[in-house]
Amino acid sequence: MQSPTQQVLFRDAMRRLNVTREQLGAQLGVTTEQFRAWLLPDDSAEFSTAPESVVNRVNQLLNNLYPSDGKILGLPWAEPIGLGSRHLISVVQFEREGIEELFRLADILQPIARRRKVTRVLEGAVLANLFFEASTRTRVSFGSAFCRLGGAVCDTTGFTFSSMAKGESISDTSRVVSGYVDAIVVRHPEQGSVAEFARATNVPVINGGDGPGEHPSQALLDLYTIQREFSRLGKLLDGCHVAMVGDLKFGRTVHSLMQLLSLYRGLKFTLISPPALAMPEAVIDMASCNGHVIEIAADPIQALHSADVAYVTRIQKERLPGEPIEGLDRRFVMNRALVASACRPDVVLMHPLPRDSRSDAIDLATDLDLDPRLAIFRQTDNGIPIRMAIFAFALGVDQLVQRSMTDAPWWSPRVVGPNDQGSADD
Ligand code: NCD
């Protein structure tokens, strides 16, 4: 296997050794400033090359962790119970080591996501992107991720233009589409429907959101984002405090994220919602392990104060009866005033998006858009390397990606948004 870039190696080491950049730098006998320069992409102006002795030392530390080169080969996630093959349906398929394996590949793929490199490892492969519910970022980013690996994408959106409107079953649709493509992403309004889809095919099926059930790829990109933000802030996932705010009952992203985070140790979860939109008991039960503390609250002002991450969700009106919800009021608007009065100065502000930006909405407000703690667009950007990594593993090209990369010949902006800080490299 080709050796990874310095950045990929050091990031992988910090995750697997469970240390901050300060701690790894100290272990290697260098200042945090020096170590930071080694962590940058190699085309960054401040990048510097680490001495060979340091690279060897880090490789040695990793080899000590895996004495028999026992790194996971093959899929970083387990087969879903009762379903064959390589489907990704739920975050319960993951252990911590599998996540580290997936994130390592996502780091390798970052230069492609940032349009500096290209690959054609999936040339000839076709993806079906079947979305029976509204979507912008999940559908486009899964499609873009597949294209950036060299594949092609066929889309269908909504029931109206699909044969399900004619009464076709999920299993017939699944079998038919499987004859046309090499991987399938499905989003569907019913919980459990994507697993049903997977039961009828041997082609890998990825859950793009099953009603109020799960959204595993979103949780993976959220976790990857939290780790990258924490890396800059010198924090670790173990022992951190995550507050989830808003519609925790129907918001599938928080169901998946809470279960994924529960693989780490000693976290504090503060679940802030009106009682009618509380986190389902089943999710809380699954996350009640590894010494986590779970606190339920109904008022953001009181509950946010020590959170390292404040993860806001949209009220899922499409899954709610029209009546007003008791306890849901403007206290739940996450705006500049609330963050100033209730949050830590180094809080990471997250949201899976879309947010409802209408003036009467109870959601994440736009007056935080210039606040560097707002990680929402770093989150969406991270959807590409994470989804590329999922496809690369599902289709067995994970080992080919790195050596297949060549320089991208076209022009692209260094930072994509006018308000981006340009620190996403860090
Ligand atoms: C979320 C979803 O669809 O679950 N969006 C997304 O995929 N990023 C969140 C939402 O719709 O509120």
In a domain, 403, yes or no: no
Mean pLDDT across the stretch 98-104?
97
CA of residue 5 to ligand 1 center, whole Å: 33
In a domain, 411, yes or no: no
In a domain, 409, yes or no: no
Mean pLDDT across the stretch 69-96?
85
Q: For residue range 237-287, list pLDDT tens digits in order.
A: 999 999 999 999 999 999 999 999 999 999 999 999 999 999 999 999 999
pLDDT at residue 421, rounded to an integer: 73
How many structural domains compose the chain? 2
In a domain, 398, yes or no: no
pTM for this structure? 0.95
Dihedral of alpha carbons 76, 285, 228, 129, sign: positive
Q: For residue range 283-299, list pLDDT tens digits in order.
A: 999 999 999 999 999 99
User: Which of residues 46, 71, 96 is at a domain's end?
Assistant: 71
* Mean residue pLDDT across the chain: 94
Mean pLDDT across the stretch 213-227?
98
Nearest ligand 1 atom to the CA of 208 is 7
Given a cut of 90, is residue 72 above it in pLDDT? no
Binding-site residues, ligand 1, Cβ < 6 A: 137-138, 209, 215, 218, 252-253, 314, 316, 352-354
Which stretches of 17-140 are assigned E, i.e. beta strand? 117-118, 126-131
CA of residue 375 to ligand 1 center, whole Å: 16
**423 and 228 Cβ atoms separated by less than 8 Å:** no
Lowest mean per-residue pLDDT among 101-105, 148-152, 419-423: 419-423
Say whether 327 sits in a helix, a strand or coil. coil
Distance CA 235, CA 231 (A): 6
Distance CA 317, CA 418 (A): 31
In a domain, 306, yes or no: yes
Q: How confident is the model at residue 115 (pLDDT cuts 50, 70, 90)?
A: very high
Mean pLDDT across the stretch 52-59?
95
Mean pLDDT across the stretch 191-208?
97
User: Which of residues 21, 53, 71 is at a domain's end?
Assistant: 71
Distance CA 57, CA 29 (A): 11
Q: For residue range 339-391, list pLDDT tens digits in order.
A: 999 999 999 999 999 999 999 999 999 999 999 999 999 999 999 999 999 99
pLDDT at residue 289, rounded to an integer: 93
Q: How confident is the model at residue 394 (pLDDT cuts 50, 70, 90)?
A: very high
In a domain, 333, yes or no: yes
Distance CA 378, CA 376 (A): 6
CATH label of the domain that carries residue 369:
3.40.50.1370
pLDDT at residue 426, rounded to an integer: 61
DSSP string, 260-300: HHTTSSS-EEEEE--GGGPPPHHHHHHH--TT-EEEEES-H
Given a cut of 60, is residue 204 above it in pLDDT? yes
Write down how long the chain is. Answer: 426
Given a cut of 70, is residue 188 above it in pLDDT? yes
- High-pLDDT (> 70) share of the chain, %: 97
Dihedral of alpha carbons 320, 278, 379, 288, sign: negative
Instruction: Please give the residue range of the domain that contains residue 228.
Output: 217-379
In a domain, 239, yes or no: yes
User: Which of residues 26, 44, 71 is at a domain's end?
Assistant: 71
Lowest mean per-residue pLDDT among 146-155, 221-230, 410-419: 410-419
- High-pLDDT (> 90) share of the chain, %: 86
More confident residue, 43 or 206: 206
Q: How confident is the model at residue 164 (pLDDT cuts 50, 70, 90)?
A: confident
Q: How confident is the model at residue 140 (pLDDT cuts 50, 70, 90)?
A: very high
CA of residue 215 to ligand 1 center, whole Å: 8
Mean pLDDT across the stretch 90-116?
97
In a domain, 423, yes or no: no
CA of residue 223 to ligand 1 center, whole Å: 15
Distance CA 185, CA 272 (A): 31
CA of residue 268 to ligand 1 center, whole Å: 24
Pocket test for ligand 1, best of 221, 253, 350, 364 (most atoms within 8 A of CB): 253
